[in-house]
Structure 1
Amino acid sequence: MGTFAAPEGLIAGRYRLGPRIGRGGMGTVWRANDELLAREVAVKELHVDDELSAAEAQVHRDRTLREARTVAQIKHPNVIVLHDIVEQDGRPWIVMELVDGRALSDRLAAEGPVPAREAARIGVAMLGALRAAHARGVLHRDIKPANVLLEAGTGRVVLTDFGIAQVSGATTITETGAFVGSPEYTAPERMSGGRTGPESDLWSLGVLLCTALSGASPFHRDSLGGILHAVVYDEIRPPANAGPLLPVVRGLLERDPAHRMGADEAERLLRGYLDTGRLASSARYTPTQRSVPVPPPAPAPPAPPSPDATPHNTGTDPSPTCPPQNARRGRGRTVLMAAVALTALAGMGAGLAVVLVDRESEPVDPKPGRPSVPSGQASVAVPSLPSQPRVKAPAGYHVVRDPAGFALAVPDGYTRSLEPPRVFYYSPGKEFRIGILIQDARPDGPIGAMRDSAAQAPDRYPGYCDGRVEKTTHKGNPAASWEFTWNGFEEDPGPRHTYDLGWDEGGKMYDVWVSGPAVKSVEGRRHFDTALDTFVRTRPVSSP
């Protein structure tokens, strides 16, 4: 690609260029004067690769014209206005309204995070802009603070830079099959080559709100590979500043686009917050595909007293104490994430491919070729760190060595489900669920993680009550427990009881929890204690 400098004279005999406003990967923007209408405008010079053949350059120009015409039809006060598109020196130039002000990215760099009310105002404006674009079949695909303008004086919020937008039914400006955009703000389904729709722009808006509230993207990492892993796999941790907007942020940052919060619901909640200073009391968004309690954005969910502590139950099932919920009895199919391949990223240096693999968990066996014993007092060796501890499975259980880097005993008949970043073992019909989460240890330790989770529980678990967080130990390691009752999500039949324990070991925080019907809490406690008693670290399996 060649070097672009401010051309002298007029563009298309009409637009006289002034100082450069900014430059990105797709083009350079200049302040200019429209000498025909005597008004200031912004002119964007689109970059064209000098190595393209004449035919390829013509295809690029045709695509630019086609998409510019479509974008020009979007009429909304929060969308940049396109005035004209012309050709000069063999490359296209787009003429837009000049918004006097600064980008949200500049505002954040100069003054830091914005208050929740300002973030809500920006969110409402962006939702209106996206709704107008999506109605025209246009996906923006590059929602980020640098592309959100804040007009001085009026406070108007303007979505700009449709340079990599995708128009329904048309080939995009960028080359087919290439990835363009800002990885920290890109939806996981785009990263994995899945179907892209309006939901992908909504994910990006969720990331933008996090950035506006905290000053940094929750997916910022030191390397491109780290960013991709964070977007697709890591625990999502919205900023503490999200406060009253947390249900909206978490709803937009739902990895499964089928369960992501829609534009109408997000706008309703944000407008309600702007009107009243709080979200509607019914705003307790819980992703429907997650049928087990999952910890909030903090490190892992929390847990009950460790097996080293005295069990809370005495052998009788307590009566449910939470209000009953009229839940529909629907069984969502377990989602097994088999292989998510992140293809090479164009325009970002060397290609990168990341494959996240889910393999069937396999029974641990001390020697290859020897069948494992599914139940009884089986004793098997587990490749672990740093020695070879032996795991014993009591009657009715069998030991599994999980590819994620651990082994434990689970009840016979349970099936594994990888739901990144967590691993679940489900009983038939999902009546009982064993969850495991491994992540980096936190400075405030397991007790900090558990307290954070418990503080957000009312917004995560319908009918949450009887929550109890305690500091404890697990096999000599710092630990914390969390125990509570809740009503379950829509597919759950009634009140449920959860036992959860998190502990630090080897620089990681391990979190194990069991959720089951409240009327069968003794059985749930037995599964929980067995999982903790038999849990050992192993070497993760990185490939099939």
Structure 2
Amino acid sequence: MARKIGSRYTAHRILGRGSAGTVWLGSGPEGRVAIKLLREDLAADQELVGRFVHERTALMSLNHPRVVGVRDLVVDGHDLALVMDLVQGSDLRTQLDRHRRLTPADAVRVTADIADALAAAHAAGYVHRDVKPENILLDEASGHALLTDFGVARLIDAPRRGGTGRVVGTPDYVAPEIVEGLPPRAAVDIYALATVLYEALAGFTPFGGGHPGAVLRRHVTEAVAPLPGVPAELWRLVHQCLAKAPASRLRAAELAARLHELHPRLLGVPALDIDEPEPEPVPQEEPPAYEPPPVRGAVPLVRGTAAPDSANRETHTSMRVPGAEELAGGAHGTARTPRAPGQPRAGSARHRAAERRRRVRLTAAATLTAAALGVGGWLAFGGDGDDNGAPPPAVEPDAGPGAPAE
């Protein structure tokens, strides 16, 4: 059902929904447009409306072929809308949902276009702060990728009356410095774009999965897991732009130049064939250790043997302190390490089940050995002893694994 947006525009049908509002196919004096109608709770915030009006010129001033242009800002009653260029095509999220991953050449081509857009924005003093597949549009007419929603995240997330703002975006793409409360600079866009590139190659994000708090923790504490099959030069770019330290990442213009140079060499390289890491298992109480039943008729071969030295057992004061990588979790500090199809991840439920089966087999073998040794000792030295009731003679201890000690 059509609805009027201000006095100049008409919204005809919904094209998509996002975290900040709904995008409509619209029309106006200059033809067809896209109208982003912000959420009602945002439109009711007078302070937010004031910031949008104040930033109207800035929102409309970023003119670049890889940026979806903002044509107008409408404030009308409960409506707060951005009128933007209409791009014919889908967004990157739709493509990933449909195909799961892109070929390395296609992933690099899309990322290079967005890096060009970020280079222009950063040179003009703007930080996007919400780079993700939903905000990357794929123009069918030109074959290029365009970045949309510039300035929206910054405005909505601005502090209000001394408090903290609402963060617009997905935890999967948040840079570590944002998690730690540092002000967002241009480097946060590079981190988010590198995350998008990783996802386009792998079919999943490097630190995603599970509770949002766990995702944010991984951004700060864990190293990115390498992707098997990615060309070495491309992986170096991804790895550098996912560095925890913002200063270690490439600038947008540098990243764009490197990606454009690399693209021709990736033509014909097939998409990766890897499995998504299993989600972190929910901590469960470990089952009690298996204790074999006592063997009937077995007696000690040596009397008076002392109990094992308790000093050799781990206690709260002698246990080894785990290293930083172990605290981060997973293999070498990566809890979501990609693996070959069918291979269980170390520490996963499948991996633990296989380890439990192996331990049960070893325990059963040890029990049978103990039973054989115990019965043999009872036949050799048990019974009534000698004629005057003297105890059996002492012998050297058997090295068998089932020999008990008093």
- TM over 0.5, shorter chain: yes
- 1:78 shift after superposition: 0.5
Report the equivalent of 2:38.
46
Corresponding residue for residue 120 of structure 2 = 132
Between the aligned partners of 1:159 and 1:122, the Cα distance in structure 2 is 10
Q: Which residue of 1 aligns with 2:164?
A: 177
Q: 1:505 to 1:188 in 2, by over 3 A?
A: farther
| Residue 262 (structure 1) shift | 2.5
Q: Deviations over 1:360-408 (max 9, x none)?
A: xxxxxxxxxxxxxxxxxxx887436xxx9x68xxxxxxxxx53x3x6xx
Conserved 8 A contact 1:210-1:242: no
What's the counterpart of residue 315 of structure 2? Answer: 383
Aligned residue for 1:217, secondary structure, equals coil
| 1:247 paired residue number | 236
User: Superposition pairs for residues 52-451 of structure 1, below 5 Å?
Assistant: 57-162=45-150, 164-166=152-154, 175=160, 177-178=164-165, 179-240=167-228, 242-244=230-232, 245-277=234-266, 382-383=314-315, 401-402=320-321, 404=322, 437=332
| Alpha-carbon offset, residue 7 of structure 1 | 5.9
Aligned pair in 2 of structure 1 residues 115, 51: CA closer, same or farther (>3 Å)?
closer
Verify the 8 A CA contact 1:141 1:165 in the aligned structure 2. Answer: yes
Alignment partner of 1:19 out of 13, 17, 35:
13
Q: Secondary structure at the match of 1:165?
A: helix
Shift of the alpha carbon at 1:162?
Answer: 2.6
Q: Is the 8 A contact 1:26 1:46 kept in 2?
A: yes
Supply the distance in 2 between the matched residues of 1:79 and 1:443 (Cα, whole angstroms). Answer: 33
Q: Note closer, same or farther for the CA distance 1:128–1:17 as it changes in structure 2 (3 Å cut).
A: same
C-alpha root-mean-square deviation of aligned residues, in Å?
A: 3.6
Unmatched runs of 5 consecutive residues or more in structure 1: 1-5, 279-298, 300-378, 392-400, 407-417, 424-435, 450-477, 479-503, 507-544
Mapped partners of 2:183, 2:135: distance in 1: 24
Q: Any unmatched runs of 5+ in structure 2?
A: 268-276, 278-310, 345-350, 357-406
Deviation string for 1:392-450 (max 9, x for gaps)?
xxxxxxxxx53x3x6xxxxxxxxxxx589779xxxxxxxxxxxx9466698979xx99x
Q: Supply the AA of the counterpart residue of 1:256.
A: A
Distance 1:164 1:382, change over 3 A: farther
After TM superposition, give the deviation of residue 127 of structure 1 in Å. Answer: 1.0
Write out aligned runs for 1:454-493 (5 A). Answer: none
AA at the equivalent of 2:249: R
**CA offsets 1:162-210 (integer angstroms, 9 cap, x no match):** 353337xxx9557452333210001011011023210011000010001
Does the C-alpha gap of structure 1 residues 66 and 172 become closer, same or farther in structure 2, counting only changes over 3 Å? farther
Q: Deviations over 1:234-288 (max 9, x none)?
A: 331143354341011001100111212232332232122124449xxxxxxxxxx
Q: Aligned letter for 2:34?
A: A
* 8 A contact 1:210–1:238 mirrored in 2: no
Q: After TM superposition, which residue ranges in structure 1, 4 or more long, deviate above 3 angstroms?
A: 171-176, 275-278, 379-384, 418-423, 436-445
1:421/1:437 contact within 8 Å kept? no
1:184–1:217 CA contact under 8 A, matched in 2: yes
Distance 1:444 1:105 in 2: 24
Distance 1:118 1:228 in 2: 28
Per-residue Cα deviation, 1:300-332 (whole angstroms, up to 9, x for no partner): xxxxxxxxxxxxxxxxxxxxxxxxxxxxxxxxx
Identity of aligned residues (%): 29
Distance in 2 (alpha carbons) for counterparts of 1:443 and 1:135: 36
SS in structure 1 of the partner of residue 117 of structure 2: helix
Bigger helix fraction: 2
Q: CA deviation at 1:84?
A: 0.7
- In the alignment, the residues of structure 2 paired with residue 243 and residue 250 of structure 1 have an alpha-carbon distance, to the nearest angstrom, of 12
CA contact (8 A) 1:199 1:262 kept: yes
Give the Å deviation of 1:16: 1.5
Are the structure 2 counterparts of residues 442 and 242 from structure 1 closer, same or farther at C-alpha, using a change threshold of 3 Å?
closer
Partner amino acid, structure 1, of 2:23: V
Tell me the distance in 2 between the aligned counterparts of 1:50 and 1:143. Answer: 20
Report if the CA contact (8 A) 2:174-2:188 is conserved: yes
**Aligned-partner residue type, residue 203 of structure 2:** G
Distance 1:230 1:164 in 2: 26
SS of 2:82's equivalent? strand
SS at match of 1:232: helix
Give the partner amino acid of 2:113.
A
